[in-house]
A and B are shown apart, each in its own frame.
Chain A
Amino acid sequence: DTEVTQTPKHLVMGMTNKKSLKCEQHMGHRAMYWYKQKAKKPPELMFVYSYEKLSINESVPSRFSPECPNSSLLNLHLHALQPEDSALYLCASSPRQNLNQPQHFGDGTRLSIL
Chain B
Amino acid sequence: AQKVTQAQTEISVVEKEDVTLDCVYETRDTTYYLFWYKQPPSGELVFLIRRNSFDEQNEISGRYSWNFQKSTSSFNFTITASQVVDSAVYFCALTQTGANNLFFGTGTRLTVIP
Contacts and interface: CB of A to CB of B under 8 A. Distances in A.
Contacts of B105: 42
Interface stretch (B15-23, B44-52, B61-69, B80-88): B44-52
Interface of A: 2, 4, 40-43, 45, 48, 56, 58, 88, 90, 92, 99-108, 110
B110 to A, nearest CB: 14
Contacts of A108: 43-44
B50 A102 contact: yes
B49 to A, nearest CB: 9
Contacts of B25: none
Given A103-B47, A104-B47, 7 more contacts: A40-B107, A58-B101, A90-B44, A99-B100, A100-B95, A100-B97, A108-B43
Contacts of A99: 33, 95, 99-102
Contacts of B97: 100
A23 to B, nearest CB: 12
Nearest to A58: B101
A45 to B, nearest CB: 5
6 contacts: A43-B91, A99-B102, A100-B33, A100-B52, A105-B37, A105-B46
Contacts of A102: 35, 47, 50
Contact of A105 (B45, B99, B107): B45
B74 interface: no
B72 interface: no
B44 A106 contact: yes
A42 B95 contact: no
Contact of A107 (B42, B91, B100, B107): B42
B2 to A, nearest CB: 11
B108 to A, nearest CB: 11
Contacts of A106: 44
B47 A42 contact: no
A109 to B, nearest CB: 9
A107 B44 contact: yes
